[in-house]
Structure 1
């Protein structure tokens, strides 16, 4: 690889990460404003025009506050867990399908599964290293729920690999003349519910339960550490919205319509938070193992059987 190509790849990655972080900032503003309308109260509207500078003032406030440190915590894992959490949530954006090919991710879906699996360890280590029972229980809850629904997520992705005939997200743009949303509507519902659990959002925010775990795995984090965990969560929300649009709603990536679809799916995340109460933990396990898993497995068997059938007809 030439030095010029390497520089272009680094520059593209830097621009992508900056755009994601700016998107995260304004997603928080959008969420607070929508929750204000849902709860019939005023959202942020004082800092700047219509509160447009509120995310930046929050970031300055968080990163300039004093960093507290539990005296009996395991310092290195405690300190670096939020850093790696944000790093993984930004790294996963590199599988975005680019036509001009500075990144070449032929195995993008497999890379996505690897990153989401590694992301569980950051939550678990953050909860364990804090040396707090509340944080430890929150981390264990996150690990248990992730194991429950990531099996269904993987089966759904394998089903779409059969449909798109590839592991790259770019293949979904090339082969999706009819939106997969109409073909696989039950899988769309399962995927969206799993995305809510993946990003620790209501009604599946069991890693953060105010009534029993105070703030969950991040209870001992303040200022910069809390801000990094917060940014990682909202970056994951944006990414899962983008992946939802790619998998189910197709279309041209470089169009305004794609951006509108992404904003609409992000709005669904916020709408669910403002509408639904927290689910019961054992009911999530029941939902994941006895509802999501059989349906996704049946779809996988159906798609693989149909593909083998049509290939045999062609041969």
Structure 2
């Protein structure tokens, strides 16, 4: 991603320096050629000594953008210790940041992350920089998300979605369209839920399938992309509060597109998908659902309802099945439900 950004800026006439401490210059050049950017006038170097890097950059005009890949490989001779240690990372970052501020360059530091996704090394590194961007994604899926965890000069409520292709990373202008199938035909067990990535809504499709068992075998519960414990809770509420029986049916739940949801506002959409699959009653293809379900069967309001409705309206949805406190929004009508039993009656045509 940084190599593509550096090449695009260099093609626009800006001076860009890309310093790699992990790869040789030829390796970086090969990757640039594979991305179709081998002719971009990016200054490449392979070095790990901060003193050598800054001395070389100080001999001429400072670059508009300086990329360091990665900060864990840099070494400052002012501090004893191997590269990657806490003291070396802190000292190297301080020298590079001082150079950037004095010479007016934009500095991008690449940092490794730990298994839990946090930045490796000292936490003080996050306080020293102006912006922290996290690049997320799973190897099994082609989509990557760029998220701002910190931004001194802007908001952190936007994400960038990219698709990994042979020619590099391509921007995805409408992330919601990735996780929605063709809605031309009504299908049982399918609902659309406006999930939140930070405070940015992304519409995803929730798919449910129920299979009745004729024998006395134990029914199976399988879920992909959602919490299995929460699925068990929704099934229990549907049985205890709504009079539906899932005890003799196998239940399969899937979040389309390999997406993972932890938002409790998905409860209502999951429950509706399960009822639709069990009763073989399709929901309107132009409707979205969101709301948290309590153990009492009550449907509770959730945060950022207006943002969810706005995203749904932007993608052509005309209806929303929502908690009682949510009002109509521009271009989309809402139908409020106080309890899960009311929603079940609506799906089954009993209201």
Structure with greater proportional helix content: 1
Larger Rg: 2
- Same fold, judged at TM 0.5 (above): no
- TM normalised by structure 2 equals 0.24
